[in-house]
Amino acid sequence: MRRDLDLSIGIRCLVAVLATLLIACAPQTQLGEACGERPDDEHVTGPFVPIALDVIVVIDDTPATQPFVGEFADALPIFLRALLSGDHDGAGVPETVAVDSLHVGVITGELGGGMRPIEGCEGPGGDARLRVNSTDASCRGMLPGGFLSLRRDDDSSALDALACVARTTGDGCTISQPLEALLRAVTDPEVHSWDRVGLVPPRFLDASGLELASGHACPPGGGCPHEGFVRPYAQRLAIVLTAGDDCSVADPGVLDPDEARLADAPPPMRCAIADRRGLLRGPSRNGDASSVWPPWSLHVIAGVPSDLAVPPGSPPRGVSALADPRMEVRLTSDERSLEPSCVSADGYPATPPRRLVAAVADAIAGDASLQSICAREPRAQLLDIASAVVRDWGAQCLPVAPSRPSSAPDECVLFEALPVERTLGCDALPARRLEGRYTDGLRAWELCRIDRVEGAMDERAGWYADQTVECTREPPRLAFTSTFEPVFGASLELHCSAFDTIELRCDEDNDASRPCARGMRCTPGERDRCSSGSTVTAPLRCDPVARTCAIACTTDEDCAAAGAAERRCDRRLVREADAAEFVRALDPIASQTRGVCVAPSCSP
């Protein structure tokens, strides 16, 4: 122990002598002088995921809705282009963030009439299947897969084909079931790891009237009718267009013309009376978290008077709307139809959508709207929905504004903690690098670093700082390239560092205009070499741990050759040398080798 103490005293003395000799030389970069950058790390946890949106459009294919369908169908491409570009006024400049990935499909609300259907409801109807072909002879279009899959800024001509597919002929069953059709189209009959605990997939009436049928949705490879349409990580938006109301059947007797319980119901009042007698589905079934998860935001364009409309982003007002006399369901004097709740300027009526009003009022977190079909403003109404959908996406904004290229090691870094016990790790996922493996003793997971790329046009997968959209504060938003695929259930954490740079002359020419950056080689020029006997003339490097200029090395021999034989080359990773400062390996420099000569430590 005495020998170790003598050695320690000798080392301290030698270091003091060297420091005295170096201080005598000016100007110079000195061994032990402060250098580098002290990070003021600022980080924020997601939802930093690509903005993925799944949209399903439900159109009532009855004669009453037909006069309103053409304008609505023509407005759909405008609505979708606004979502994909962020440009809602068509001026060529985005006002909001844009959707990175969009799925959109169209169904009708007709589900057929069971084994003994009433007139006009023979067959399965649309069966809640995504429409593939246009049924309008004046507008030819086809969606071979049943839905469009679009990327940000995609101005595909397929959007026009979608508008054609959305044009219905108005010859569907008068017992329209838009809410039930919507639910069946997007329901996966299987429960997956990403689903909410306790989720019970609903069942549906089949053609025989028995509740045996399953939903149509499933993940890729599932072999279902709507395979891959609904994505577990996407936000979900449903739009319903109807001049009537929902009549989602719970009891197949509603579809039976000889049903005794409805023998006293005039045909126009059949659904209203069936609802009063408990023969229809509850309108909140579509918003019940035990039936479908994640929930869909519901936006209805129906026969509500304009002054009772609930615009997108407004609190629901279902109770007050239902109390209005215009929303009462009653027969006209000739008992051949229902009294309209509103009439368009060109004379087309719409009837009270009481069940749809209740569905909007029951929507989870009020994420719903109710607009008047009689206003005949589908373009403005759809753009209002688009604006409401993106209003909360400011969370994509970066905590600080990046000022350096993506190649800089001390810029913003996006980390992704994979779901616990996920089979595929970081190394098997594109655009990821393994940062570390962690466990709490019961569970294990991996932390990935997601690649940063130059911008939206970069062909590589990864994230970038989007400068094209104004955030609520100065920094830009975090965005992803079109080829990047997220991992559902992963948590993302963005780390950005603001630095307090110490100005030093760290280049060979002793040029004060080029400050010393952390990790930069500090190589003394001729004027930095002392003539008073100092032997430390080797290149210096900014030590990221001590933040002082130190002798750069890769082996102990480098230290000896530099005149500091008593020192040892620290070849540990920076995070190993100072775990407290570089916690969880989240600092960008943490994975680099320290690579400087340090005083040897004594063992107890």
**Percentage above 70 pLDDT, the chain:** 68
The residues, any chain, with a CB within 8 Å of residue 311's CB and separated by 6 or more, are 369, 371, 384
Report the number of distinct structural domains present in the chain: 3
Q: What is the pTM of this model?
A: 0.65
Q: Is residue 556 part of a domain?
A: yes
The 10 Å Cβ neighbour count of residue 310 is 23
User: Which amino acid is present at 99?
Assistant: V
The 10 Å Cβ neighbour count of residue 295 is 18
Do 365 and 423 lie in a common domain?
A: no
Distances (CA, A) of 138 to 47, 70, 124, 141, 163: 44, 11, 25, 10, 12
- Is residue 118 within 8 A of residue 110, CB to CB? The reply is no
Task: Give the whole-angstrom CA distance, residue 398 versus residue 465.
Answer: 8
Task: Give the whole-angstrom CA distance, residue 314 versus residue 241.
Answer: 19
Do 419 and 485 lie in a common domain?
A: yes
In eight-state DSSP terms, residue 29 is: P
pLDDT band for position 23 (cuts 50, 70, 90) = very low
Length of the chain: 604
The per-residue pLDDT for 81 is 92
pLDDT in tens, 67-99: 999 999 999 999 999 998 888 888 887 777 788
Q: Is residue 43 part of a domain?
A: no
Query: Which of 13-27, 219-233, 303-317, 563-577 shows the lowest mean pLDDT across its residues?
Result: 13-27
Q: Is residue 358 part of a domain?
A: yes
pLDDT in tens, 114-131: 666 777 777 777 889 999
Most confident among 160-164, 373-377, 419-423 (mean pLDDT): 373-377
pLDDT in tens, 389-416: 876 554 455 555 554 444 444 457 788 8
Distances (CA, A) of 64 to 148, 241, 244, 384: 28, 11, 7, 25
pLDDT band for position 174 (cuts 50, 70, 90) = confident
Q: Is residue 263 part of a domain?
A: yes
Do 330 and 418 lie in a common domain?
A: no
Q: Is residue 303 part of a domain?
A: yes
Do 107 and 199 lie in a common domain?
A: yes
pLDDT in tens, 241-264: 999 999 999 988 898 888 999 999
Query: Which of 346-355, 466-475, 550-559 shows the lowest mean pLDDT across its residues?
Result: 466-475
Task: Give the whole-angstrom CA distance, residue 304 versus residue 342.
Answer: 7
Query: Which of 154-168, 192-206, 346-360, 472-486 shows the lowest mean pLDDT across its residues?
Result: 472-486
**Considering only CA atoms, which of 378, 329, 383, 392 is closest in space to residue 358?**
329
Do 228 and 284 lie in a common domain?
A: yes
pLDDT greater at residue 308 or residue 95: 308
The per-residue pLDDT for 108 is 93
Q: Is residue 204 part of a domain?
A: yes
Q: Which two tokens stand for residue 67?
A: 């006069």
Of 394, 419, 451, which closes a domain?
A: 394
Do 278 and 385 lie in a common domain?
A: yes
Please give the average per-residue pLDDT across 16-38, as a whole number.
Answer: 42
The per-residue pLDDT for 319 is 57
Do 464 and 510 lie in a common domain?
A: no
Do 440 and 525 lie in a common domain?
A: no
Please give the average per-residue pLDDT across 453-475, as a whole number.
Answer: 70
pLDDT in tens, 320-374: 788 899 999 999 998 889 999 999 999 999 999 999 998 888 774 457 889 999 9
The per-residue pLDDT for 506 is 43
Task: Give the whole-angstrom CA distance, residue 600 versus residue 604.
Answer: 13
The per-residue pLDDT for 197 is 62
Directed axis angle between helix 158-165 and helix 66-85, to 10°?
150
Helices (H), 148-247: 158-165, 178-186
Please give the average per-residue pLDDT across 544-570, as a whole number.
Answer: 81
The per-residue pLDDT for 535 is 52
The per-residue pLDDT for 226 is 93
The residues, any chain, with a CB within 8 Å of residue 455's CB and separated by 6 or more, are 464, 466
Please give the average per-residue pLDDT across 213-242, as a whole number.
Answer: 87
The 10 Å Cβ neighbour count of residue 89 is 10
Of 499, 525, 544, which closes a domain?
A: 499
The residues, any chain, with a CB within 8 Å of residue 487's CB and separated by 6 or more, are 233, 416, 418, 419, 422, 429
pLDDT greater at residue 190 or residue 407: 190
The per-residue pLDDT for 446 is 85
**Percentage above 90 pLDDT, the chain:** 25
Assess whether pLDDT exceeds 60 at residue 377: yes
The per-residue pLDDT for 492 is 77
The per-residue pLDDT for 12 is 36
Do 458 and 587 lie in a common domain?
A: no
pLDDT band for position 182 (cuts 50, 70, 90) = very high
Do 509 and 469 lie in a common domain?
A: no
The per-residue pLDDT for 380 is 93
Assess whether pLDDT exceeds 50 at residue 570: yes
Assess whether pLDDT exceeds 60 at residue 585: no
Q: Is residue 58 part of a domain?
A: yes
pLDDT greater at residue 434 or residue 585: 434
The per-residue pLDDT for 28 is 42
Directed axis angle between helix 354-361 and helix 178-186, to 10°?
50
**Considering only CA atoms, which of 53, 371, 424, 77 is closest in space to residue 236?**
53
- Provide the residue range defining the domain that includes 122: 52-394
List, as one string, the DSSP characters of 124-176: -TTTTPPP-B---TTS--B-TTSEEEEETT---THHHHHHHHT---S-S-SS-
Query: Which of 165-174, 206-215, 414-423, 501-510 shows the lowest mean pLDDT across its residues?
Result: 501-510
Q: Is residue 46 part of a domain?
A: no
Distance of CA 588 to the CA centre of its chain: 25
Burial label, 280 (beta-carbon count in 10 A; 0-12, 13-18, 19+): buried
Do 274 and 313 lie in a common domain?
A: yes
Please give the average per-residue pLDDT across 384-391, as a whole number.
Answer: 82
pLDDT greater at residue 55 or residue 517: 55
Assess whether pLDDT exceeds 60 at residue 44: no
Cα dihedral across residues 479, 485, 491, 495: positive or negative:
negative
Do 168 and 271 lie in a common domain?
A: yes
Of 464, 499, 534, which closes a domain?
A: 499
pLDDT in tens, 521-537: 444 444 333 333 345 55
Mean pLDDT value across the chain:
74
